[in-house]
Structure 1
Amino acid sequence: MKRPFRNVPRMTLHPPYRLLMGPGPVNADPRVLRAMSAPLVGQFDPVMTGYMNATQDLYRQVLRTTNDATLLVDGTARAAIEAALVSLVEPGDTVLVPVFGRFGHLLVEIARRAGAKVATVDAPWGQVVDPQAVADAVRAHRPRVVAVVHGDTSTTMRQPLADIGAVCAEHDALLYVDATASLGGNDVRTDDWGLDVVTAGLQKCLGGPPGSAPATLSDRARDAVRARTHVEEGLRTDADEPRGTVIGSNYLDLAQVLDYWGPRRLNHHTEATSMLYAAHECARVLLEEGLDAAVERHRRAGAALLAGVQALGLAVFGDPAHRMHNVVAVEVPDGVVADAVRAAMLDDFAIEIGTSFGPLHGRVWRIGTMGVNARKDAVLTTLAALEHVLRAQGVAVPPGGGVSAAQEAYAA
């Protein structure tokens, strides 16, 4: 039965202000929001193609690479993850995934959807995978692709990468890295570490909104993507291009996206103009600060938050030697309802903190210090609010202990 037509009242969106101190998204930098309000131009307007070229150059610097194949994937960070794997992997290929949290399992799922045979090398949540174990697994499985998360926000752990690239190159494996949660707040060195493909997102340390995903491909990865591309006749002009296995996605086919961003400007999709403006400004803000300075700012903010929660008597989850700069996993005290604390933080203080996934759901709060929120006042405000909410829940916390410890950490 059809529903009767109704006049729907016109509604204006008035989002409440939130201080987003969870694992992402975070508050967008005001400069980025202003950039998004700029007028639209056509996707093949010389002004627009100039902006695309400029954005590519900025992200080469952000990703510390000279890769020509550097671009944006229109979509959230997961779109770029899927684009990378579906464009690199052919059915029957072996993909090796080091798994140490929720997002390693995501890489496994996407690789299997692409038809890969997936092997894993696992670490308990709260630890990282020993690089030697990864190297041994590469030698044992001889994968086509090694796919690894750099910083897994589900556990707040950061996987060491510097020694993996050489092993992958030695055994002709392509190394894909998901740097969604780490880029901009932790060291990411694409060329120095031998990373073949790196993808990220704006909504964490880059300080932008979700919806655009920077990506870069080495020459070796770009050639592998092109070698397996097959498209319908009539969509390309050069009929002698290599023909490989048909990939599973059109929109996320990086070979076609590369042609769209390359000198031929072959039509593939309509560029998300306002998101390109956002991505461009995110990179400009970061590079004006300096990559090393931004990483240090995130390190200091994360260290201050860590000192603060520990001074409140709270335990921190995970191996401290491999903790990301920008997210702390705080263990929920016995007798405290995790979601009740999160709700009080949001309702009373307009501060959002996160929970986690799977075995950590309800066991930890994930508190992020990233992007524009990796600053002293945001850290101190969050700690003061958390202290108040915990006391209201009956937890004995030292008055002002968290804020004082954080201030001392900043002063050190």
Structure 2
Amino acid sequence: MGFNSLNTPSRTIMTPGPVEVDPRVLRAMSTPILGQFDPAFTKLMNEVMEMIRQVFQTKNRWAFPIDGTSRAGNEALLASIIEPGDKVFVPIYGRFGHLLVEICERYGADVYSIQCPWGEVFDPDVVIAEMAKISPKVVAIVHGETSTGRMQPLEKIGKACREQDAILVVDAVASIGGVEVKTDDWFIDGLIGGTQKCLSVPAGMAPITFNERIEKLILERKKVEAGIATAEDEQYQRSRMAIASNYFDLAMLMDYWSPRRLNHHTEATSMVYGLYEGLRLVLEEGLKPRFIRHLLHEKALVTGIQAMGLKLYGDSEHKLPCVTCIEIPAGVDGESVRKMLLKEFSIEIASSFGPLQGKIWRIGTMGYSCRKENVLAVLGGLEAVLIRHEVQVNRGEALQAAMDIYAAEESAMTIL
């Protein structure tokens, strides 16, 4: 049998990831392939590293992408610093905290965790008090939890980690490029981002950064693996074990991304092009204006949802600005609504996981998907579909309320 040429449907993607890819990123990804050690390409690699530093707000030496989806970034950082028996503390307030636990356990860590109800976040003092009891080597935590639409405050926790000599590893996949993430100011030792969310690049890379505290752990481990530890390093000879993964070994990846350019893998050239352009566009827009844009469209969406008569889910004080969670009205088949919205309006929104499956919808306003036309489209489409499902909504109010937000913003800009 023959196969047709690729012809995917046009969608308005309003999920918490993946999101619509900026057309300029798609164009960049279609440019000619270069060899991975071509000087033109290694120059591009250096520029990507610098752009990651600026977007992640860090002066760290090490900032580069891991080839693979966001989970690859989490695994690379954790696998490279965790040894069997290490104490790792993971505060869980949604699905992706459980993922961090699983990764750490697979590398032999002794994992301690606490949980709070989904839809809430931790009081930082609770986390800090638990750290004092455990004395963990590593604290791993999610910054923006897309499963619940919440955002965990980190600054106080980061400072406590530094005071208690614990390594802080943060999953900022959902927040980087959409909300403020201050790697250095918040005392974050290792940070993982993602391409397919607020950076508006296809899934397939995980930009990371880590500081000299993590670099020291990695180099000590590498020294023992190479058999060059000295007598005074005997404690490391007894305790340091080789990382189980070759692909995610940061020591090897550091050699690859350093001026030495020691071959580790064949770089995903087109993905580097896409990441370059995605990061360039973030910096061209400016971090502060970009964060303000995400807040504006969040406000318009939330105002419209509430004007429609629907209820928001979760603790409003700690809402993740780029993910809005909506309670599914009683008696409504949430999946039927999603399917009709996709079929009739070509708009995709998300359901959720675990205890929230079938209870909430999640709408993402991230990166290139975070636009006025998208917000108005999803509000209009959702209202129409809910009416077809015989849900009592305030007809016509959602779009008008959102348009009022945009009109007020345009008026304020005119005055300025």
Cα distance in 2, alignment partners of residues 231 and 19 from structure 1? 51
2:340 counterpart letter in structure 1: A
Verify the 8 A CA contact 1:229 1:245 in the aligned structure 2.
no
Write the deviation string for residues 258-286 of structure 1: whole angstroms up to 9, x where unpaired: 11001211110011000001111110000
Cα distance in 2, alignment partners of residues 401 and 89 from structure 1? 53
Cα distance in 1, alignment partners of residues 342 and 222 from structure 2? 48
State which of 242, 255, 260 in structure 1 corresponds to 2:256.
Answer: 260
**Corresponding residue of 1:5:** none
Helix, strand or coil for the counterpart of 2:222? coil
State which of 161, 164, 174 in structure 2 corresponds to 1:171.
Answer: 164
Is residue 2:68 matched to residue 1:75?
A: yes
State which of 93, 96, 101 in structure 2 corresponds to 1:100.
Answer: 93
**Corresponding residue of 2:10:** 17
**Corresponding residue of 1:51:** 44
Percentage of matched positions with identical amino acids: 50
Verify the 8 A CA contact 1:121 1:129 in the aligned structure 2.
no
Cα distance in 1, alignment partners of residues 351 and 85 from structure 2? 37
Write the deviation string for residues 203-262 of structure 1: whole angstroms up to 9, x where unpaired: 1111111001110001111111222237987xxxx9569873111210011111111001
Q: Which runs of 4+ in 1 moved over 6 A?
A: 230-233, 240-243
Cα distance in 1, alignment partners of residues 265 and 223 from structure 2? 17
Residues 208 and 231 from structure 1, CA distance in 2 versus in 1: closer, same or farther, beyond 3 angstroms?
farther
How large is the RMSD of aligned CA atoms in angstroms? 1.5
Helix, strand or coil for the counterpart of 1:228? helix
Verify the 8 A CA contact 2:252 2:264 in the aligned structure 1.
yes
Verify the 8 A CA contact 2:225 2:242 in the aligned structure 1.
no
Helix, strand or coil for the counterpart of 1:192? coil
**Corresponding residue of 1:390:** 386
State which of 282, 285, 298 in structure 2 corresponds to 1:289.
Answer: 285
Verify the 8 A CA contact 2:323 2:363 in the aligned structure 1.
yes
State which of 202, 209, 213 in structure 2 corresponds to 1:216.
Answer: 209
**Corresponding residue of 1:228:** 221
Report the Cα offset of residue 410 of structure 1: 2.6
Number of corresponding residues: 401
1:37 counterpart letter in structure 2: S
Cα distance in 2, alignment partners of residues 196 and 177 from structure 1? 8
**Corresponding residue of 2:295:** 299
Gaps of 5+ in 2: 231-235, 409-416
| TM-score, L = length of structure 1 | 0.95
**Corresponding residue of 2:145:** 152
**Corresponding residue of 1:4:** none
**Corresponding residue of 1:410:** 406
Gaps of 5+ in 1: 1-7
1:278 counterpart letter in structure 2: G
| TM-score, L = length of structure 2 | 0.94
Helix, strand or coil for the counterpart of 2:131? helix
Larger fraction in helix: 2
Q: Map residues 332-371 of structure 1 onto 2, 5 A cutoff.
A: 332-371=328-367
Cα distance in 2, alignment partners of residues 10 and 124 from structure 1? 48
Report the Cα offset of residue 185 of structure 1: 0.9
